[in-house]
Amino acid sequence: MGALSVNLCGIELDNPVIPASGTFGYGYEFAELYDINCLGTFSCKGTTRQERFGNPTPRIAECSAGMINAVGLQNPGVDRVIAEELPRLKKCFHKPLMANVSGFSVEDYAYTCQKLDEQEQVGWLEVNISCPNVHGGGMSFGTDPRAAYEVIKAVKAVTRKPVIAKLSPNVTDITVIAKACEDAGADGISLINTLLGMRIDLRTRKPVIANTMGGFSGPAVFPVALRMVYQTARAVKVPVVGVGGVSTAEDVIEMMLAGATAVEVGAANLVDPFACKKIVEALPETMARYQIAALREIIGGVKQWEKT
């Protein structure tokens, strides 16, 4: 076990850095820039049962300290992902990958997860019950504890690999949803997905994206994500993957102190395609600066203020 290594749901990672779904394609696109095997793993683009074109354009807009997107789960569908995307990825990535799955019904989730569970390359199934950019699915499951429970229960019934529930921050109490997923058999929790946001163009007086609202991500959401990781890690017994506004090695360590076993990097990949590589390379020096011998030893290690 190396100083950077962690264990996520029974699978060893060389380091905790994971590019987040929707910001790293199917991996091979970034493999043209650097050896992506330096990563712990990565979460592939969200996959659905059927092919999806996504939302109308414009669907991405920059804003202060982040961005808003409403891509709408554009993807070729699970059958083509298995037949075309995974074979291309196998040529350049030699570690288990995290397969991100979305759906519009419980049956959709179960069908897609069962198909991906059968693929040797897949190490984890990240079940996205938190997407704010589609109608009739995604976040509607992640804001209702009972609906979240039913999705995870159905997926667990047809899969053998670790199932990680990806949660929405657009709820009153994140721990209620997290506990429901754990009760349904989830092997891990990842959070947060994007916050629901909106901008208006003052010249046209129209929303800047065609979907009106979209997912807000970037450095501005980091404190919210950190708070929810902290709360969730103390509410469940399964591993937590921290996501939201992470862009530096320091952010990774902060997330892990809050309770994250591994950390996903999202919007930073769209700003700098080498972001994750740079974070991995910076971790040893950053650990030395803060006198950290091994990352797995600091998980959930935030200290509380002592009463005086």
Q: Is residue 131 annotated as part of the catalytic site, yes or no?
A: yes
Domain boundaries, the chain: 6-297
Catalytically annotated residue among 9, 44, 113, 131: 131
Residue in this structure with the two tokens 């997290």, named with its chain if needed? 178
Residue in this structure with the two tokens 């590589």, named with its chain if needed? 277
CB under 8 Å to 125, separation ≥6 — which residues? 98, 99, 101, 113, 116, 117, 155, 159, 161, 162, 163, 164
Q: Rounded to two decimals, what is the model's pTM?
A: 0.94
Report the C-alpha gap between 229 and 183 in whole angstroms: 18
Q: What's the pLDDT at 135?
A: 44
CB under 8 Å to 192, separation ≥6 — which residues? 130, 167, 168, 169, 174, 221, 224, 225, 228, 229, 243, 244
**CA 160 and chain centroid, separation:** 20
pLDDT averaged over 10-residue windows placed end to end, the chain, 308 residues: 92 98 93 97 94 82 86 88 96 97 92 97 94 49 87 97 95 95 98 92 93 91 97 98 97 98 96 97 97 97 80
Report the C-alpha gap between 232 and 181 in whole angstroms: 11
Contact 22, 46 (CB under 8 A): yes
* Torsion of the alpha carbons at 24, 29, 33 and 39, rounded to the nearest 10: 40
Q: What's the pLDDT at 220?
A: 94
Task: Report DSSP state, residue 229.
Answer: H
Protein fold of 6-297: TIM Barrel (3.20.20)
Q: What's the pLDDT at 138?
A: 47
